[in-house]
Amino acid sequence: MKKILVVDDDPYILMSLEFLMKKEGFDVKVARNGTEALDIIQQETPALVLLDIMMPDMDGYAICKHIKGNKKLQHIKVVFLSAKSKESDIQKGYDLGASLYVTKPFSTRDLMKKVRELLAAA
């Protein structure tokens, strides 16, 4: 069972994505901030992280950088989910090694499709 980590500080988004991933049959972990997210990544090494950018303690870019800068972790696929929709923000996400950058609000159906594809390719 593939492990997926969902990181977002908004409880309703977290709740929704957790529901969807579980229904898809993934092993879902959730984190409400950057610190929690780093802990879970370290301990569980998920196959994919759905990552919000703006969070209270650290931003999603820093987490992505941490993942991609670590040999043991860099295989983890990162999908940014963010309200930041500027071209430069998106570019920055891809530059840091993200597999996908999805701007909010998004279609849950499309998102799930993309996640499936990404995990199938791995």
CB of 55 to another protein, least distance (A): 6
Toward another protein, which CB reaches closer, 18 or 27? 18
What whole-number distance in Å separates Cα of residue 3 and Cα of residue 94?
A: 22
Kindly indicate which of the ranges 8-16, 36-44, 93-101, 114-122 contains the residues binding another protein, using the contact rule CB under 8 A: 8-16
The residue from 74, 83, 95, 117 that contacts another protein (CB under 8 A) is 83
What whole-number distance in Å separates Cα of residue 94 and Cα of residue 25?
A: 27
Answer yes or no whether residue 87 interacts with another protein by CB under 8 A. Answer: no
What whole-number distance in Å separates Cα of residue 121 and Cα of residue 79?
A: 14
**Which pair of tokens denotes residue 115?**
């996640």
The residue from 84, 96, 98, 100 that contacts another protein (CB under 8 A) is 84
CB of 71 to another protein, least distance (A): 26
Distance of CA 59 to the CA centre of its chain: 12
The residue from 5, 6, 17, 21 that contacts another protein (CB under 8 A) is 17
In the block, residue with structure tokens 């993200």: 98
- What count of other Cβ atoms lies within 10 Å of the Cβ of residue 108? 12
Write out the binding residues for another protein, residues 41-70 only, by CB under 8 A.
Answer: 53-61
